[in-house]
Amino acid sequence: IHGVWPDHTDYIMYDCNPNKEFKKIYDKHLLNKLESRWPQLTSNEYAGLNDQTFWKYEYEKHGLCCEKVYDRSQYFDIAMKLKDSIDLLNILTTNRIVPGFQYSYTGDQIRSAIKRVTQKDPNPKCTYSKGGLELLEIGI
């Protein structure tokens, strides 16, 4: 999971409250759940759990936009529930789409595999890597 970004039909929601800062999470149970579902891939596990840099970034950039509706705990709970309900890796693997440079798939193959399960049009994003396109992320 990269993040949970609230949407509004009239404007883009990010950096809604730049003066408010993220308070570190100390609840060990919540930290373990977050680390297993939303690992901070920019650091090792120890640094991620201690510094919480990526979770802090995502919450300050996006989570604070919905703080009147969802508090910090609820924001992270929603992220984990979404991750659990839409297991993209499992969806792709079930449709014989597996990660690795030795395999190649079209955007239509990836989109249709996900849409069959979610009933939503996914938004795959790719990047150029090693002379070809590489799947970077999938927005739902």
Q: Distance between CA 15 and CA 52 in Å, rounded?
A: 18
Residue 21 near residue 30 (C-beta atoms within 8 A): no
Range 7-12 contact pairs with CB under 8 angstroms and sequence separation of 24 or more: none
Q: Which two tokens stand for residue 27?
A: 């609840």
Q: Distance between CA 79 and CA 13 in Å, rounded?
A: 17
Active site residues: 2, 58, 62
Residue 64 near residue 4 (C-beta atoms within 8 A): no
Q: Which two tokens stand for residue 68?
A: 């009147």
Q: What is residue 23's three-state secondary structure?
A: coil
